[in-house]
Amino acid sequence: MTSTDAAPTSTQTFTSLDPASGEVVGTHPIHSAADVAAAVATARKQAEWWQALGYDGRKKALVRWRKLIARRMEELAALMARETGKPAGDALLETALAIDHLAWAASHAEKVLKRRSVAPGLLMVNQAASVEYRPLGVVGVIGPWNYPVFTPMGSIAYALAAGNAVVFKPSEFTPGVGEWLAATFREAIGRPVLQVVTGYGETGAALTTAGVDKVAFTGSTATGKRVMAACAQTLTPVVIEAGGKDALLVADDADVAEAADAALWGAAANAGQTCAGVERVYVHERVYDQFLDELVARAERLEARPGGQVGPITMPSQVEIIRRHVDDALARGGRALVGGPVPEGARFVQPTVLVDVPEDSAAVQEETFGPTVTVTRVKDMDEAIERANGTRYALGSTVFSKDQGMAIAQRLRAGMTAINGVISFAAIPTLPFGGVGDSGFGRIHGPDGLREFTYPHAIARQRFKPAIALTTFRRTAKEEQQLTKVVRGLYGRGKR
């Protein structure tokens, strides 16, 4: 347990491994439920100190942490690359984007959350009304391994900036990255307002029942449901950032080469292990053949290998899921124009382009989380939209079109849409990030992401006595008549 006041009660450890080589990257404690409870108790004390710093004090502290991470970003990226197997350049990009979010959250918390006046309305004109967004206290953050810095920082940075203390449980595949974040926070700020607990799923489960004031969970839909069920016992609120099955739509007026480039990057970057990665493409029939030619030519040049642009599949069990989806697609009449069946025992999955895959197959409906993509011909964009909206998931989406981008985007059931770009919304700190349906609920990033880790406190202050006294047993029949007259005058006039 990094940075906690209490010593861990458990002496058991586990290792994180380099998925490309199998080498041990680090050894970490398996924190027990008692350790987690101790971390939350420490966090509760730290939250008081952190809240007392005020917006300005917290901003200064978070700026110190931001600077430290920025100065040592290569070190963090190298550790991340070892624990996940992702290319070092991708790890650097992820770190850079996380720093940008931290900077935004730190500098905008006051503006978004501080007490502000709101209109009291005509009936309560004698009142001064205001609202402030107050920190919840202690936020438990449970993170995945695929973007082990960017993803949890979407909760950690915003929860801290909003005035909460945080206990973070990183994935068992990326505990070193989690510990690095807590250690640098302690170095920059001197107090364990951010702590890390490491271990397996049980450690995460312990965090959900340890009395935190909110749980921010990022991971699979199945685990999200378990987290929500556990939190329901104590009415602990949750944010669920779960999986996706994002579609990219190509209209007949699109820059087809750009669309193909984006589709390939969206599908195969981070070896396809991206919640908002592109897993399905729907292309207008007029540009379908041209799009496929462009996509196939690019995909054939891309190779998953050690040191390549596409790294290994981080989690061994995921290879089985990818294999099942590809095999099922091929068995049901699909064709692989690039790639093909995933060999037994593989840790690297080659970029795979599938066509003619039935719409109800696993490769189109379920999250594959590998560098694979299905491409489907559609007669028009109405059909593309209907199909894009046809899964249980609804996280991100992408549209390529010169003139119809906004019109198509507005009809997509998704938390985010990128037009003529891919996953661009995730890198814009002012935009909220999150899904609907099986992709979860609640938002990280932007003003919504700051408010997610707060509760609103409303104040109505009487400025002068009301003309009509409504909230008293002294209210008379005459005053009730006056009220009726006023409301009718205000809201009941005009044609039916």
Using CB under 6 A, list all residues that contact ligand NDP.
Answer: 142-147, 151, 169, 171-172, 200-201, 204-205, 208, 218-220, 223, 226-227, 241-244, 275, 315, 367, 369, 395, 435
Q: Which residues of 259-269 are buried (b: 16+ CB within 10 A; e: fewer)?
A: bbebbbbbbbb
Residue 246 to residue 183: CA distance in whole angstroms: 35
Residue 212 to residue 204: CA distance in whole angstroms: 12
Give CA torsion, residues 429, 432, 437, 440, to 10 deg. Answer: 60
Closer to ligand NDP by Cβ: residue 144 or 163 = 144
Closer to ligand NDP by Cβ: residue 34 or 486 = 34
Residue 366 to residue 362: CA distance in whole angstroms: 5
Closer to ligand NDP by Cβ: residue 81 or 321 = 321
Considering the complex, what minimum distance in angstroms separates the CB of residue 291 from ligand NDP? 25
Considering the complex, what minimum distance in angstroms separates the CB of residue 433 from ligand NDP? 6
What are the residues facing 169 on neighbouring strands?
Answer: 142
H or E element at residue 374: strand 372-378
Tokens of 447: 């003003």
Closest CA to 246 of 293, 279, 223, 206: 279
Considering the complex, what minimum distance in angstroms separates the CB of residue 353 from ligand NDP? 21
- The residue annotated as part of the active site, out of 94, 275, 294, 367, is 275
- The residue annotated as part of the active site, out of 83, 94, 172, 241, is 241
Considering the complex, what minimum distance in angstroms separates the CB of residue 222 from ligand NDP? 7
DSSP notation for 373-403: EEEEEESSHHHHHHHHT-SSEES-EEEE-SS
Q: Are strands 214-218 and 238-241 parallel, antiparallel or unpaired?
A: parallel
Closest CA to 31 of 197, 183, 215, 166: 197
Whether residue 275 lies in the annotated active site: yes
Helix pair 54-71, 150-161: axis angle to 10 deg = 150
* Contact assessment for residue 381 and residue 406, using Cβ atoms and an 8 Å cutoff: no
CB atoms within 10 A of CB 85: 24
Residue 305 to residue 439: CA distance in whole angstroms: 30
Residue 160 to residue 135: CA distance in whole angstroms: 9
Closest CA to 212 of 285, 266, 272, 139: 139
Closer to ligand NDP by Cβ: residue 193 or 394 = 394
Closer to ligand NDP by Cβ: residue 204 or 405 = 204
Q: Which residues have a Cβ under 8 Å from the Cβ of 317 and sit 6 or more positions away?
A: none
CA torsion sign, 80 to 82 to 85 to 91? positive
Only one residue has tokens 């449980």, namely 169
Q: Which residues are catalytic?
A: 241, 275
